[in-house]
A and B are shown apart, each in its own frame.
Chain A
Amino acid sequence: MKGATVASRYGGVFVLAVIVAVLPWFLPNSFYFDVVINSGIAAIVCVGLNLLIGYAGQISLGHAGFFALGAYSSAILTDNLGWPPIVSLGSGLLVVALLAFAIARPILRLKGHYLAMATLGMGIIISIVLNQEVDLTGGPDGMPVSSFSLLGQEVDSELGWYWIVGGSLIITVWLALNLIDSAVGRALRAVHGSEVAAQVAGVDTTRYKILIFVVSAVLAAYAGSLFAHYTGFLTPSEGSFFRSIEFVTMVVLGGMASVFGSVIGAAILTALPQFLTVFHDYEHVMFGLVMMLTMIFMPKGLLPSLRNWINKRTS
């Protein structure tokens, strides 16, 4: 019994680790590396966002804001103030954690559409600040970011970034799985089921909601920081409303309340536009079509639907 639990909890992480370890041998050139690295970065955000949306049942339409805050704080602290990248990264995460903590309490009192509106507003405010503070952020035209370096070792190869992002993703997934299987995870699912019932059962719902909001914001900021150093150039579009929607779509497509679903959703939505370029002018139509068909035939998202299907077949 215990063996089965360990297997179902860590089997997935193991498979993910094997895929991450083997994948570089199947990637022919730097373009494929780029798509995989961008997928990995998006996956880190989505795993965090899924904790909030899929498990705790709270919506956020402003997560690109946290992503951009992480990215820009890394960029500004490293390039304008000359801090070491790793220190900038840490400070950026701290700032985002504090900010998320400060706004979580008032925002998470809201429910449904109102919560969606509030997080949307928050994302837009961050986006406006990034656009307007031209001296700090370079405004709409963006700003360059120097390479990531640790202990004097500069990371500038695609393979180096691949290992950093891949490793970060494995750790993120492992942390998320542990969190879900802990008391916190159970409390979160209780909040998702019925907040009143959870309160009656003695769950401090506010505390858990704030906790998970901060965790998901920090993960988004961490991914943003990696992205900034990896791409080497930032524009405010990273914090735009559309980017937020993209993250939510990845979570929904992959499957709510499915950690690996988020990873797969992020990978597909990052790679799909590249694949669809063969349709030229109809690229966006095809993109919309894929999304609609997935939602019509797999309303629970890709991974949970697939799992149901395999379960049916094998039993």
Chain B
Amino acid sequence: MNFVRYICTLIAGAALALCSFIGIAVADTIKIGSFLAVTGPASFLGDPEKKTLELYVDKINEQGGINGKQVELTLYDTGLDAKEAVTFVKRLISEDQVDIIVGGTTTGETMAVLKEIEKAGIPFISLAGASVIIDPPKKWVFKTPHTDAMAVGMVYNDMKKEGISKIGLIAGAGGFDKSCMKNAQALAEGAGISIAIAETYGKGDNDMTPQLTKIKNAGVDATLFCGFGGPSSIVTKNYAQLGIEGPLYHTHGSCSKGFIKGAGDAANGVRLPCAALLVADQLPDDDPQKTIGMDYIKAYTDKYGSDVSTFGGHAYDALFIAVEALTKAGTTDKAKVRDAIEATENFIGVDGIFNMSESDHMGLSLDSFKMLEVENGNWKYLY
């Protein structure tokens, strides 16, 4: 009797566990799948991305969908967990049977799912920054944000214009920071820039005065900071406190109002390359990105009432590159849609003008960046 009871308990328990699996119905629509870090440490990236996707999928459906078919968005929150990202991608592919995937807020999540994407053969447009995602190009993988190497290239161009030749570098321990620093060192010689000193700080440090003091003593013309998030503001504040000569440059990792708010007055004078979106209202009227940027800002702020960020812009571009490819292909056949994405030409997005090719799965050129300067706590468009 005891044994029977025991078995009953186990079976009841197992049934309980199995109850957690429930299927989802299928309808004749175009399905776009997405996995984003909407919650967790990267939510300031994932949240605007999610809002942008939802906003524009609704708009597309109001306007009649793609090729007469309604669009269905299936979006999962990874909470910045690479393991969850992999599970959700498998779910999108085999359970939800989506036609294309747009998502992957960070480089870590994106890299984690590439194996599944390539195995399943489904077009995927990533929203993460690092160049490793598309370099070397992978058959099914595309991305929209600018790379760190491009930001460094843009900064070096500006330095030459300003007659700067000897610089200091400061970076954190994160993946973006390291990659940016490596590119800064690799590109320096070709750009005629000499790096007098390169300093790094640890994850979670909240005072970079020691590193910046060394840079000050090295007597540089300008300093380049590689990083994003909280450290952007701290480095900028410390830089101002030490009264270091010469301008401070940032990369596009600081293209958010949060950076200016954090650094306060110290942010004034910082020069950095950003997507046109932040200064859409200051662009000359003949700039092709002006209209699209203004439209996006209006739609986003009307709906959500909060400031736009370039991260939502990455999602906007990825979604519309996907929509354009689906429209052109006239089918949801994965291989044809992939070919259509690769053939993206002169696509005007908020990040810039995309021209993809077999060897370039991002398609942005250096002139898609705008050089900005912070002035009186706001972005000022330089060129």
Contacts and interface: CB of A to CB of B under 8 A. Distances in A.
Interface of A: 4, 7-8, 11-12, 15-16, 19, 28-32, 34-35, 38-39, 128, 131-132, 134, 138-142, 144, 227, 231-235, 237-238, 260-261, 264, 267-268, 271-275, 277, 283-284, 302-303, 306-307, 310-311, 314
B203 A140 contact: yes
13 contacts: A11-B3, A29-B94, A29-B95, A140-B174, A142-B82, A232-B112, A233-B115, A260-B10, A274-B20, A275-B20, A303-B13, A307-B6, A310-B5
B108 A131 contact: no
Contact of B111 (A134, A144, A272): A144
Contacts, number: 145
A55 B1 CA distance: 26
A165 B221 CA distance: 58
B241 to A, nearest CB: 27
Q: Which 10 A-B pairs have the closest CB atoms?
A: A141-B175, A271-B20, A29-B94, A233-B112, A267-B17, A31-B95, A31-B91, A235-B82, A7-B3, A232-B115
A162 to B, nearest CB: 13
A30 B90 CA distance: 7
B107 A306 contact: no
B175 A139 contact: yes
Interface of B: 1-3, 5-14, 16-17, 20-23, 39, 76-77, 80-84, 86-87, 90-91, 93-95, 106-108, 111-115, 130, 173-176, 178, 202-203
Nearest to B22: A275
B17 A306 contact: no
B174 A231 contact: no
Contacts of B93: 30-31
Given A131-B173, A131-B203, A140 B91 contact: no
Contacts of A273: 84
Contacts of A7: 2-3, 6
Given A12-B10, A232-B115, 12 more contacts: A30-B93, A128-B203, A131-B203, A138-B175, A142-B111, A231-B82, A260-B10, A271-B21, A277-B76, A283-B77, A284-B39, A307-B5
Contacts of A39: 17
A237 B80 contact: yes
B17 A141 contact: no
B87 A302 contact: no
Nearest to B8: A310
Contact of B9 (A16, A268, A307): A307
A132 B202 contact: yes
A102 B94 CA distance: 45
Nearest to A314: B5
Interface centre among A235, A274, A307, by most chain B C-beta atoms within 10 angstroms, is A235
Report whether over half of chain B's contact residues are helix, strand or loop; otherwise say mixed.
Answer: helix
Given A34-B87, A264-B17, A140 B108 contact: yes
A7 B6 CA distance: 10
Nearest to A144: B111
A176 B14 CA distance: 19
Contacts of A8: 2-3, 6
Given A38-B83, A310-B8, A260 B174 contact: no
B130 A141 contact: yes
B87 A274 contact: yes
A190 B222 CA distance: 68
Interface centre among B11, B39, B178, B202, by most chain A C-beta atoms within 10 angstroms, is B178
A231 B95 contact: no
A235 B112 contact: yes
A116 to B, nearest CB: 23
B83 A231 contact: yes
A142 B111 CA distance: 8
B20 A268 contact: yes
A310 B173 contact: no
Given A8-B3, A233-B82, A302 B95 contact: no
A235 B90 CA distance: 18
A306 B11 CA distance: 11
A306 B13 contact: yes
Given A275-B20, A306-B12, A11 B83 contact: no
A98 B44 CA distance: 41
A15 B11 contact: yes
A311 B21 CA distance: 28
Contact of B175 (A140, A233, A238, A302): A140
A38 B82 CA distance: 13
